[in-house]
Structures are given as C-alpha cells and as structure tokens.
Amino acid sequence: MAFGVPALVFLVPGSVFLYTKTPFWFEFGTWMSFFIFLGILYGIFFGRWQWKIHRHELSFPNLPDDLDGMTFVQLSDIHIGSFFGRTDKVRKAVSKINHLNADYLFFTGDLVNNSAEELEGWEELLKEITVKKGKFSILGNHDYGDYVQWQNDSEKSKNLNDLILWHQKIGWTPLLNSKLKLVEGAWLLGVENWGKAPFRQSGKLDQTLQGIPEKDFKILLSHDPSHFDEQVKFKPVDLTLSGHTHGMQFGIERFGIRWSPVSFRYPKWAGLYKENNSYLYVNRGFGYLGFPGRVGIYPEITHFTLWKG
C-alpha cells in the first residue's frame, strides 16, 4: 500500500513526461507520489488511532415524548483481532465514549475479523463502556466466520455461538432478527447480516417488523448499507444504522470534498442519508481490516440526539 499507491499515482504524469519530455510532469508526479506516501505512513502510525466523534441531532414527528432528547452512541466494525492487544490505544477511545454519557449503545456488527477467540483478553476493557440504559448489538458479515476454513460445520457453528456469548459477557444484548420495545410507541430492531451478493443475506426484515404498528417509531440496526436501498427504505423504518464500508479507510473529507473509492461499490458509504422519509446513517467504523491504517477517513464514534418535532 505504502509503495504501490504512490507508484500508481505517478503513472499518469510519468507517462505524460515520457511522451512530452516536459520536466514539469516528472516533478509534479514525484511530489504527488511523495505526499501520498507520507499520508499513508501517517495513516499507519497515527490515523488508525485518531477516533473522531461525529455528532448528529435528528427530529421525528412520531418520536414518543419519553424519548424526546434521547442520546445514543453508535459503534461499528471494531474488528478486534486487528488491534493485536493494543489495549492502551483502545482504552483512549473507550474513555471518549464514556464521556458522552449516552443513554444507549448500539453496535452495528463486525466485532471480530473471523473468530470468537480474537476477544480473549479484551473482555474487561469492552465491559468498561458505560451508558445509562442499555447496550445492544447485531452481527456483521465477518462475525459468521465465513472467510476461514473450518474443519466442519459444527466447529463453525460453535464459533458463532461463542461469539454471541461474548456479546453477552461484555454486557451487550444481541438482536438477531428480533426486536424490543424501548418505550411505548418506540422499538429497536436488529437484523442479521443482509448484503448484496456475494455477502450473506441472513437478515429477515419482514419477520422482525411483524406485529409492530406502522405508526410507531423504529430504529433498525443492519450492518450493510446496501440493505437500506434494497429493502429497508420501502418499509416504515425511521432510522437505520449501518457500518460495513469503513469508508475504505482511504479517501478525503475536507475542503468540501467528500470521496472514497468505496463509493463506486456503495453509493451510501459514510454519514447521513435520507430517502422516503427514512434516515440511514453509515458509520465509518471503529477499527480497521487488511490495511493497518486510515488515510483521510478516520475511525468513528457517533453520538446521536433524537428530538420530537
């Protein structure tokens, strides 16, 4: 990544230089590649630890009075196996979360990279995350163990069951195609992973919505934002919380420019969107996967305040 991306950036101006023999293009390509190289190094050594708090206030006419002013933190895509025991770094993020003093924590999937064993040694720190009323979670595509070779199906099933138990050990309540009533007239829903192929489609939205009055306020936890465009926006869901994209851990969100290569795959790739009177929020992810860094798209802790209106 550190050498390949700058080399690709140099390819176009370098080719122009070879064709025109104009020194400007060689110098331009060299400096562009150099600055991108420095940016990637920054992302590896510093960017992946620079948790940013994104704050949003949303108003809903059907929000019950009892939830007027409710706050919650959304976390997504922790990928705990990528931290290799760096509890000192993650503890700083936990402190930031706790200082928000939110009512709820909603986690939108991918706690691990592949296996429940990655959580060994992290239980006490994750239990330190504190909110006033409750912590709820769902699974992401990586939580099912689909990307490793298991000896047999029972071993894979045991890994998933172990992971669900880990959620409970750290004080989170998993919502697996299920729902709970927050207050009269308001519901929290959680579906299993549903993504466009080749990702698994285990989420059962219709089943989860069954029995809930259409006019009631609903927050849905669904890991993959493609679920929103394919199914959710056609249902009476007020706010959907997703993650999954990581913002590709590479892009730009400055000077009025907002772009990442992942936008070619996911049009709704980071931040807040609204369609059919329904909101979608795509969290940029707490951790990282593959490339051990973040360039321009920093790890995220999201703080929401909901108002009636």
Residues 17 and 138 in one domain: no
Q: What pLDDT shows up at residue 4?
A: 66
**Claim to verify: residue 23 and residue 58 sit in the same structural domain:** no
Model confidence, pTM: 0.93
75 shares a domain with 33: no
Q: Quick one: 83 and 217 in the same domain?
A: yes
Kindly state whether residues 202 and 295 are assigned to the same domain.
yes
Phi, psi of 190 (to 5 degrees): -135, 130
Give the residue from 110, 44, 78, 54 showing the smallest Cα distance to 294. Answer: 44
φ, ψ dihedrals at 107, nearest 5°: -110, 130
Amino acid type, 72 = F
C-alpha span between 39 and 121 (Å, rounded): 32
Same domain, 251 and 280: yes
- 194/137 same-domain check: yes
Return the pLDDT at 10.
Answer: 65
- Counted domains in the chain: 2
Tell me, yes or no, whether 65 and 23 share the same domain: no
Give bridge partners of residue 196 from the DSSP assignment: none
Using CA atoms, how far apart are residues 85 and 91, in angstroms rounded to an integer?
11
CATH number for the domain harbouring residue 134: 3.60.21
Q: Which range of residues forms the domain containing residue 17?
A: 4-42
State the pLDDT at residue 58: 98
Does 28 lie in the same domain as 84?
no
- Please identify which residue in the block is written with the tokens 């069954």: 210
In a 3-state reduction of DSSP, which class is residue 173?
strand
| Residue 139 burial (C-beta neighbours within 10 Å; 0-12, 13-18, 19+) | buried
* 207 lies in the same domain as 234: yes
Query: Are 11 and 137 contained in the same domain?
Result: no
| Positions of the chain with pLDDT under 50 | none
Same domain, 209 and 91: yes
Residue matched to tokens 């549903």: 194
pLDDT of residue 17: 72
- What's the pLDDT at 16? 77
Report the chain's C-alpha Rg in angstroms: 21
Other beta carbons within 10 angstroms of residue 140's beta carbon come to 27
Model pLDDT, residue 253:
95
Q: State the virtual CA torsion across 169, 170, 175, 181 in degrees, nearest 10.
A: 110
What is d(CA 72, CA 97) in angstroms, rounded to the nearest whole number? 10
Distance CA 62, CA 239 (A): 12
Q: What is the pLDDT of residue 3?
A: 60
The 3-state DSSP class for residue 145 equals coil
